[in-house]
Structures are given as C-alpha cells and as structure tokens.
Chain A
Amino acid sequence: DGGITQSPKYLFRKEGQNVTLSCEQNLNHDAMYWYRQDPGQGLRLIYYSQIVNDFQKGDIAEGYSVSREKKESFPLTVTSAQKNPTAFYLCASSHRGQNTEAFFGQGTRLTVV
C-alpha cells in the first residue's frame, strides 16, 4: 500500500560516528522534507527537495547532509559535525504546489551516546 516509510524507528550511535536515516515514499511525490524535533518543541526544517538531484537547506542544515538521486528516496546523514544530534527526525513528502497536503513518516528517534 502507498505511503512514506522511515527506518529504523530507533537508532543508537556512538558520538563521532556518521549515521544515515532512511526515508522512502511510493506516492510519486516530487517534494520531500526532513525535520528535526526536540522534546516539547515544534518541527524545524533541515533540508527539503522539490525535485530529483536538487535540494535546499532549511533553517538548521549545519551538520547534516542529504542526497536525492531517486524520486522515491531522500536519505539524511547526521554527521559528526552536528553538535547535538540526539532528536526525533521526521520525513515528509508531497506533490509540488500549494493546494496539496504533505504526508509524514512515523519518525526515527536517534540517540547518540
């Protein structure tokens, strides 16, 4: 069935290691997004992509990297340069344009120890 999938649901890494979070959608959406959420806070935009092979920085891109080689995939790498990587990460996708809603995955909770 159609949807957006994030994996894994929980992820643990040692400090100083890079880690890649997966986001896959089979909704034929052009636009994809990554958000970060800290406890008790709202969602902050990390990166977004409107089309394959193109992506833009959001408000908190430092310490993160992305790629968009395929329409259905938008992986996020949390690098060792990210000072405080422990957080809840959410991926979303949508058709382009104003009058269309975005669909969210169920999130990946990353804990760096």
Chain B
Amino acid sequence: DAKTTQPPSMDCAEGRAANLPCNHSTISGNEYVYWYRQIHSQGPQYIIHGLKNNETNEMASLIITEDRKSSTLILPHATLRDTAVYYCIVRVYNTDKLIFGTGTRLQVFP
C-alpha cells in the first residue's frame, strides 16, 4: 500500500497562506489523494481530494505534481480556527482502504 510522509509540524501567521506538503512517491496511477484535518478529540473532517489535476473548493486548494509523487494543500488565508492536525491520505485502489500518515500539526498564530 502507498505510504504518505508529512512534516510533523508547521507554523503560519493568521491571514497568510498555509502550504502543507505531502510525499506519496509510491502512489499508483489510479489512486486518489485525500486531505483531512482533525481538531483535538474530534473525528477527522474532509477537506479536499484529487487524482492528478489541481483542485479547489471553498476550504482549500490541492496542487498535485505532474509525476503525482507529491502534493501540497493550500489554505489561502489561515485563521486561528485552522489550527489542527492535517492528514494526507492515499485511497488504495480496489480495496477502498484509507491509509493515514502521521499528519502535520499546523499552528496558526495571531
């Protein structure tokens, strides 16, 4: 199964863009990348997902490299409420397994 690697922690100033990287070098050609976030002691919240094209929704943008070995989640204007652990996940083809990495703890400061 594909693995994901993320930096353990990042800081971001309120109002600035937060760029969270993820490495998924063993991803297969038809496996999607998903991003979730988890605020302490709650269930993870879906943010965005994509296959190979860049994606944008009301929460964030997802940039996937052309070789699909890495991606970046962009929160365009971070707020204090965006402080959370962000997980980059690969959905395994055929089994529907969602494999979580260790996540990035994003701290947004005033």
- Chain A residues close to B by CB (< 8 Å): 31, 33, 35, 41-45, 48, 50, 56, 58, 88, 90, 92, 94, 96-99, 101-107, 109
A35 touches B100 (CB 8 A): yes
The count of residues in chain B whose C-beta lies closer than 8 Å to any C-beta of chain A is 25
Question: Residue-by-residue, is B86-99 near A (CB-CB < 8 Å gives 1, otherwise 0)?
Answer: 01000101011111
Q: Are B42 and A96 in contact (CB under 8 A)?
A: no
**Bound: A45/B95 CA distance, A:** 13
Q: Which residues of B contact A (CB under 8 A)?
A: 30-32, 34, 36, 41-46, 49, 51, 87, 91, 93, 95-103
User: In the docked arrangement, what's the CA distance between A102 and B91, Å?
Assistant: 10
Give, as a whole number of angstroms, the nearest-CB distance from B70 to chain A. Answer: 19
Docked-complex contact A42 and B103, CB < 8 angstroms:
yes
Could you tell me if A92 and B96 are in contact, using CB atoms closer than 8 angstroms?
Answer: no
Pick the residue among B91, B99, B102 that contacts A45 (CB under 8 A). Answer: B99
Q: Are B41 and A88 in contact (CB under 8 A)?
A: yes
- The reply to whether A106 and B43 form a contact with Cβ atoms under 8 Å apart is yes
Of the candidates B42, B93, B95, B100, the one whose C-beta lies within 8 Å of that of A43 is B100
Asked if A44 and B100 sit within 8 Å, CB to CB, the answer is: yes
Q: How far is the CB of A5 from chain B (nearest CB, A)?
A: 11
Find chain A residues with CB under 8 A from B31 CB: 98
Please list 12 pairs of residues, one from A and one from B, whose beta carbons are closer than 8 Å in the complex, sorted by A's number. A33-B98, A42-B102, A48-B96, A88-B41, A90-B43, A94-B98, A97-B96, A98-B30, A98-B93, A99-B32, A101-B46, A105-B43
User: Closest chain B residue to A9 by CB distance?
Assistant: B41
Q: Which residues of A contact B42 (CB under 8 A)?
A: 106-107
In the complex the two chains form, what is the Cα distance from A76 to B49 in whole Å?
Answer: 28
Q: Of B44, B99, B103, which is within 8 A of A104 by CB?
A: B44
CA distance A41 to B30 in the complex (A): 28
